[in-house]
Amino acid sequence: MYIALLCVLLQLWLGANFGHASSQAVSATACTLKATGRDDAPQFLHAVQTCSTVVIPEATTLNIATRLNMTGLVNKHINLAGTIRFSPDIPYWTGNGFFFPFQTQITFWVLGGNNITLTGGGTLDGAGQAWYDAFATNSTLLRPITLTIFQGTGVTVEGIKMINGPEWHNLINESKDVIYQNIHISATSTSSHGPANTDGWNIYRSDNVVIRDSVIINGDDCVAFKPNATNVVVSNLNCTGSHGISVGSLGQFPGMFDIVENVTATNIRMSNAQNGARIKAWAGPNVGSGIVKNITFDGFIESKVDHPVIIDQCYMTNAAACVEFPSNTFIQDVWFNNISGTSTGSVVAALSCSPDGRCSNINVNNLKLSPPSGTAKFTCQNVVIGGNSATLFPACTVT
Ligand SMILES: *[C@@H]1O[C@H](CO)[C@@H](O)[C@H](O)[C@H]1NC(C)=O
Ligand SMILES: *[C@@H]1O[C@H](CO)[C@@H](O)[C@H](O)[C@H]1NC(C)=O
Ligand SMILES: *[C@@H]1O[C@H](CO)[C@@H](O)[C@H](O)[C@H]1NC(C)=O
Ligand SMILES: *[C@@H]1O[C@H](CO)[C@@H](O)[C@H](O)[C@H]1NC(C)=O
Ligand SMILES: *[C@@H]1O[C@H](CO)[C@@H](O)[C@H](O)[C@H]1NC(C)=O
Ligand SMILES: *[C@@H]1O[C@H](CO)[C@@H](O)[C@H](O)[C@H]1NC(C)=O
Ligand SMILES: *[C@@H]1O[C@H](CO)[C@@H](O)[C@H](O)[C@H]1NC(C)=O
Ligand SMILES: *[C@@H]1O[C@H](CO)[C@@H](O)[C@H](O)[C@H]1NC(C)=O
Ligand SMILES: *[C@@H]1O[C@H](CO)[C@@H](O)[C@H](O)[C@H]1NC(C)=O
């Protein structure tokens, strides 16, 4: 009833002829979806269960009005040439979106399992305008993440546009071997209420993630490495209007140990942004702990960025409290290489750490950053610096 007749017939034929063991025969060929004029979530869910390839053709817009639980899939290809639009029914989603307790998040769509590809040149439309406007009068409004890869292994998302997510566009949670490439993200508002917290990607408890060859216009982090993001390579990104490529924030929650290790961000263009290359960790009483290790930012070209290079290991903590309660999230083996362009203020690089050797082997090489006027300032607190740019940072300790 929900999917194209051809697909149903093919399944019946396959089921009858080859005696599939499972009750739901999986069609070997593509099932093509058409818009029903109602909520298209049920037919989309059914097609993903029963067909190995699901096609949403170019002229088709699916209206998704109820949540998409697509966990535990095996060998699936979603070929999205058309559009998937998430209906901006705020009361429905705030009550029924999948809830993830970390930072109090909900999501429209969880996609997970083994060997899954989402491709096709089409669009995920978060219909964010209603959310941006509602958030302006309700700062505790739960806003959905557009797409969450949850417990996925071998997931590829390629050649997809994501527009106007209500909040984060992508969360990768508890996943492994994930590739995103050729993604265009754009969150813009037509009212005075900006697209708040519209991060490009957040990576959490996930290993071996690649994000490359993508363009992002948004209103928060371009890519954020959250607790237990390991072995991540981010390359060839154009980020505009964002809050930067950010490690953290980490060490926020008491009793939790956060690891971010083996991260490379290379060949990044960052324009009109709050931050360029950033690491942030909490200090103060009642926080968590962790380790940030082997992080490389290489080849950033920045234009009009407030803080082009920044480590803040006293995040959300005043200077006195940071001395009394230094961060328990240690930062070591960090490289900021080949970073050029312009800042909006006089401080072009700020390395600010908790005392007692909690930031070690921080390397800054080939920085060519200019402020709008006057002399560029490089600030430093409690940092043990490696590399050959020690002359730029007279306040740093040199190893
Ligand atoms: C999503 O579907 C999976 C598999 O059917 C199920 O185990 C899980 O409980 C569902 N999640 C939610 C939040 O409904
Ligand atoms: C992955 O899934 C696709 C269908 O999307 C299938 O064609 C391919 O053979 C699968 N790969 C493996 C290694 O099973
Ligand atoms: C990831 O999933 C786990 C298990 O559901 C959940 O406890 C955690 O809060 C999720 N993380 C995020 C960032 O949503
Ligand atoms: C704000 O949003 C929250 C969460 O979505 C909701 O519980 C609360 O009722 C909303 N507040 C108002 C004043 O609408
Ligand atoms: C990337 O950014 C640069 C500089 O802002 C711009 O010249 C270039 O066209 C952008 N590329 C894409 C694909 O948007
Ligand atoms: C991160 O991984 C470590 C080591 O496996 C674990 O002890 C810790 O609980 C994890 N932290 C989070 C936030 O999942
Ligand atoms: C980081 O990379 C090194 C070298 O490949 C590897 O030995 C180490 O296990 C990696 N760390 C994590 C947390 O995966
Ligand atoms: C550092 O991380 C990168 C991946 O970002 C990895 O290729 C390299 O092996 C790691 N180096 C060490 C010494 O762990
Ligand atoms: C950074 O500069 C060094 C030498 O100055 C060079 O070897 C390296 O390839 C450069 N990296 C990038 C991404 O341009």
DSSP line for 38-98? S--HHHHHHHHHHEEEEEE-TT-EEEE-S-EEEEEEEEEEEEESSEEEE---HHHHHHHSE
Question: From the CB of 77, is ligand 2 less than 6 Å away?
Answer: yes
pLDDT at 8 over 60: no
Per the omega criterion (within 30 degrees of 0), is the bond before 27 cis? no
pLDDT at 29: 75
Residue 195's closest CA among 209, 171, 216?
216
Nearest to 392 by CA among 361, 365, 362: 365
Ligand nearest to the Cα of 78, by number:
2
The confidence score (pLDDT) of residue 311 equals 97
d(C-alpha 275, C-alpha 368), whole Å: 16
- The whole-angstrom separation of Cα 349 and Cα 353 is 13
Superfamily name with CATH number, domain 1-220:
Single-stranded right-handed beta-helix, Pectin lyase-like (2.160.20.10)
- How far apart CA 84 and CA 216 sit, in angstroms, is 19
Least confident of 6-20, 151-165, 277-291, 380-394: 6-20
pLDDT, averaged across the chain = 92
The three-class DSSP label of residue 360 is strand
Domain 228-399 class?
mainly beta
105 CA closest ligand 3 atom index: 14
Please give the pLDDT value at position 391: 76
Does the CB atom of residue 102 touch ligand 3 within 6 A? yes
Residue 81: pLDDT over 80:
yes
Task: Give the closest residue (by CA) to ligand 3 atom 3.
Answer: 100
Residue ID of nearest Cα to ligand 2 atom 1: 75
Q: So what's the pLDDT on residue 19?
A: 31
CATH 2.160.20.10 range(s) for the chain read: 1-220, 228-399
Q: Residue 172: which of 139, 206, 146, 198 has the closest Cα?
A: 206
Choosing from 26, 31, 75 the residue with most ligand 2 atoms within 8 A of its CB, the one to mutate for a pocket test is 75
d(CA 170, CA 204): 11
